Homo-oligomer: A and B are copies of this chain.
Amino acid sequence: MGLSYNEYYNERTGLTVGLKKVLFSEDTPFQKVEVYETDTWGNLMTIDGMVMLSEKDEFVYHEMLTHVGMFAHPNPKKVLIIGGGDGGTAREVMRHPSVERVDMVEIDEAVVRASKEFMPEVGDWDNPKLNVIYENGLEFVKTPKGEYDVVIIDGSDPVGPAVDLFKKEFYQNCYDCLNENGILTAQTESPWVGHYHKSISDLFDVLDEVFEVSQMYLAFIPLYPTGMWSLAYASKGINPHSEEVIKRVEEGTTKWQSSLRYYNKDMHTGSFAIPNFVQDILKSK
C-alpha cells in the first residue's frame, strides 16, 4: 500500500522500500538522480534506479570502502576519490588525522547538490581539506603521476556512465596516480547477482595484472541487492594482513571506538574471508 521504491536485480527478485515522498528527481546530463524520504531508512538516494545509499545504512559502505585501505597505509596524506558525490567516503577519509588533502572527482554536480540538501549529515562539506572537482574520473586519472597515497573508487554500477570504471585502462591510470606505498579500494558489486559475475571476475583479473597485491573483501549492506557486497583492496606492496597493519588498525580503532559503527579489527581481517562460491566466480574466465 502506498508509494514504494522497487529495485529488481534478478528478473523479478529485488528490494522494496516504503516511501513517504519524492524529495528530488532530476535527469542530469549523465543519469537520473533521485532522493526519497523512506519510512524507516531516512532519506534514500538512487541513480538510474539503483540504490546508492540511505541515511541509516550508509555507514557500512563508507566505513568499509574507506578504512580497510586507509588504515593499511602507514601515513596517508593525499587521497583521491573517484565518484563519492554523496560525501560519505570523503567524510570517513578525513577522520584520519594524517590526511592533508582529499581530491573528490565527481562527474555529476547534481549528486553533490542533492546530497547537501537532502542528506547533509552524510558529508563533511565544510572541511577545508576537501577539494571537490566536477570532472569525469576516467579523464582525471590520466594526468597525476605518483601523487596520491590512497585512491578510492566510489562509483556506481557497471552500466551507463560507470561501465569504464571496471576496465583495465582506468586501473592502470589509477596505479600511476599512486606513489610507491599506494593503495586502492573499490566497490565491486554483489557476487549473488548473475549478470555481474563477468564484471567481477574481469575486474579482479585486471587488478591482479596491474597491482602487486589484490584481494576481495565483503560487507553486509542491507539496501544493496542481496545484502552481500564485494569490494577490492589493491596495493603496490602493502599486505592488509601484515602485523604492522593489524597493529595500526587495533590502535586506530581503539581510539575511534565510539564513532565507528561497523569497522573494527576483527572486521578488517574477517571481511577478507571469501565463500567458496565467490572464489569460483573469481576463478571463472
Interface residues of A (CB under 8 A from B): 1-2, 4, 6, 8, 10-18, 38-41, 57, 59-60, 192, 194, 218, 220-222, 226-228, 257, 260-264, 266-267, 269-277
Contacts and interface: CB of A to CB of B under 8 A. Distances in A.
B218 A226 contact: no
A8 B1 CA distance: 12
Contacts of A14: 15-16
Contact of A220 (B227, B263, B266): B227
Given A13-B39, A220-B228, A267-B274, 6 more contacts: A13-B15, A220-B275, A257-B276, A261-B275, A270-B272, A270-B273
A227 to B, nearest CB: 2
Contacts of A4: 12
Contacts of A41: 13
Nearest to A60: B275
Given A2-B12, A13-B40, A273 B262 contact: no
A266 B261 contact: no
A18 B14 CA distance: 9
B18 A39 contact: no
Given A17-B12, A40-B13, A228-B222, A261 B276 contact: yes
Contact of A222 (B227, B261, B273): B227
Nearest to A38: B13
Contacts of A15: 13-16
Contacts of A267: 273-275
Contacts of A6: 16
A253 to B, nearest CB: 9
6 contacts: A2-B12, A12-B16, A13-B38, A14-B15, A15-B15, A222-B227
Contact of A12 (B39, B221, B226): B39
B264 A275 contact: yes
